[in-house]
Amino acid sequence: MDSKLHCIYCPREYLLLSGKNTCECGGLLDVDHSSTLESLKAGDWLKQVADRWGAKSLPDSSGVWRYRELILPGFPEEGIISKGEGNTRLYDFPRLTEIARVEKLKFKHEGENPTGSFKDRGMTVAISWAKRLGSLAVVCASTGNTAASAASYARSAGMKAFILISSERVAMGKVSQSIAYGARVIKVRGNFDDCMKLVSEHASDMGLYVVNSVNPVRLEGQKTIIWELLEQLDWKLPKWIVVPGGNLGNTSAFGKAFQELYSLGILDIDEIPRLAVIQASGASPFYKSWKRNFDTRFVDQARTCASAIEIGDPVNRSKAMRSVVFTKGVVEAVSDEEIMSAKALLDREGVGAEPASAATLAGLLKLRSAGTIRESDTVICVLTGHMLKDPDATIRFHTEGDSVLANKPIVIDPTLPALKSVL
């Protein structure tokens, strides 16, 4: 396999098979595909990828492995642990296009992956790779979705999964998955950042392979959200791609996906869509840092109803910075109220998403008001997780709050007059 691991800070390089997640200098590692990017004929590759759409069997039918030449070049097909992830829908919700007052708005629903979040796109690669490295067990800190995905894919690979989640701040749907899929679920009396710290500092020493988004191989799978999207758009490039930002793995992967298309000569620099990264204001260290031209690093005591992005110290900060700079992106923060109102609007379209995903619509509305995103722009929002991941948040909004968007169920006696009185 030609690809190497390359430190983003220092000149150090490692073999992919070293299984490293971070450099000796402490820096994050990139999977460096330079040799493939040089030898790959862009046109031929795009055609090959396009021909694989609609394949009936794996790995071609996977929305991740379809792009395998630029994920893990040369990886043996029989080693792939896949559930046919990706191939997610791109929705049009005309009412929301109208509300946002933009030229075109579409929603790429990554909640339609096998375990209900985009995490599966990264996990299929991370777990296949863990197996190749001979790992017997994987570990992750999680706000819930990474855990569900790791539990699922580890099970398929015949590996153990150890899951560290906050004992309080995790959505029910997500925990239930990890438990049911057979992972060892460890509830930590603390928040996500406490879990992440334990994993970062001690997991490797304990012989566990870390599948958080600090894992560069995992992020390779998440690039395919962008590639699949652009194919679905017949390469008519949007102006903006809006994504929630938590641990900033997607932000990092999206930038790399564009960087590689640029290296292949498929996109010009000024065609590249701009990333709009949306954080919850109660967990917005990246937003604060962006406000100061990234000259200061912030760490929040994270608190938000959007559990998937309740992260105060994102591990991928430096890669994400690079993505924002490369795409001339922006970072915005939205309140929990804005998130839940946006979620209500989105849910009413009949598909819905979990709170963190709705942060994209909230962010879009805010960036429209500010004039950053213009009426003539075309916009894609990436919905990261399934609506049923966090039913508590939905029910709470509709039954306890006083929002005009609340849709409170009515309770009646089992009689005809009672029924008639409410119809």
Ligand X SMILES: *Cc1c(COP(=O)(O)O)cnc(C)c1O
Q: Which residues bind ligand X (CB under 6 A)?
A: 117, 119, 145, 213, 244-251, 308-309, 354, 356-357, 384-385
Query: How many Å apart are CA 36 and CA 260, to the nearest integer?
Result: 10
CB of 19 to Zn ion, least distance (A): 16
Query: How many Å apart are CA 391 and CA 326, to the nearest integer?
Result: 37
| CB burial string 174-207: b at 16+ within 10 A, e below | bbebbeebebebeebebbbbebbebbbeebbeee
Give kind and range of the element (H or E) at residue 334. Answer: strand 330-334
Task: Name which of 59 and 282 has its Cβ closer to ligand X.
Answer: 282
CB of 18 to ligand X, least distance (A): 24
Task: Name which of 34 and 399 has its Cβ closer to Zn ion.
Answer: 34
CB of 216 to Zn ion, least distance (A): 12
Partner whose binding site includes residue 7, from Zn ion, ligand X, none (CB under 5 to 8 Å by kind): Zn ion
In 3D, which of 327, 330, 223 has the Cα closest to residue 272? 327
Partner whose binding site includes residue 63, from ligand X, Zn ion, none (CB under 5 to 8 Å by kind): none
Partner whose binding site includes residue 12, from Zn ion, ligand X, none (CB under 5 to 8 Å by kind): Zn ion
Task: Name which of 3 and 327 has its Cβ closer to Zn ion.
Answer: 3
CB of 117 to ligand X, least distance (A): 4
Partner whose binding site includes residue 355, from Zn ion, ligand X, none (CB under 5 to 8 Å by kind): none
> Mind giving me the DSSP string for 123-185?
HHHHHHHHHHTT-SEEEEEESSHHHHHHHHHHHHHT-EEEEEEESSS--HHHHHHHHHTT-EE
Partner whose binding site includes residue 356, from ligand X, Zn ion, none (CB under 5 to 8 Å by kind): ligand X
Count the neighbouring beta carbons within 10 Å of the beta carbon of residue 105: 25
Query: How many Å apart are CA 157 and CA 136, to the nearest integer?
Result: 10
In 3D, which of 269, 257, 246 has the Cα closest to residue 354? 246
- List for the chain the helix, strand, coil content (%; round to 5): 45, 15, 40
- Contact status: 14 vs Zn ion (CB under 5 A): no
Query: How many Å apart are CA 117 and CA 308, to the nearest integer?
Result: 10
Partner whose binding site includes residue 141, from Zn ion, ligand X, none (CB under 5 to 8 Å by kind): none
Task: Name which of 28 and 46 has its Cβ closer to ligand X.
Answer: 28
- Contact status: 25 vs Zn ion (CB under 5 A): yes
- Contact status: 10 vs Zn ion (CB under 5 A): yes
Task: Name which of 130 and 358 has its Cβ closer to ligand X.
Answer: 358
In sign, the C-alpha dihedral spanning 174, 82, 45, 322 is positive
Task: Name which of 82 and 143 has its Cβ closer to ligand X.
Answer: 143
| Pair 174, 389: CB distance under 8 Å | yes
Partner whose binding site includes residue 325, from Zn ion, ligand X, none (CB under 5 to 8 Å by kind): none
CB of 328 to ligand X, least distance (A): 19
Query: How many Å apart are CA 406 and CA 340, to the nearest integer?
Result: 10
| Range in contact with Zn ion (rule: CB under 5 A) among 10-18, 37-45, 105-113, 163-171 | 10-18
Task: Name which of 261 and 393 has its Cβ closer to ligand X.
Answer: 393
Instruction: State the burial class of residue 47 (Cβ atoms within 10 Å of its Cβ: 0-12, 13-18, 19+).
Output: exposed
CB of 289 to Zn ion, least distance (A): 21
Tokens of 150: 């790791």
In 3D, which of 212, 143, 135 has the Cα closest to residue 178? 143
CB of 263 to ligand X, least distance (A): 23
Partner whose binding site includes residue 145, from Zn ion, ligand X, none (CB under 5 to 8 Å by kind): ligand X
CB of 354 to ligand X, least distance (A): 5
- Contact status: 27 vs Zn ion (CB under 5 A): yes
CB of 260 to ligand X, least distance (A): 18
In 3D, which of 60, 11, 49 has the Cα closest to residue 32? 11
- Contact status: 23 vs Zn ion (CB under 5 A): yes
Partner whose binding site includes residue 213, from ligand X, Zn ion, none (CB under 5 to 8 Å by kind): ligand X
Site residues (vs Zn ion, CB under 5 A): 7, 9-10, 12, 23, 25, 27
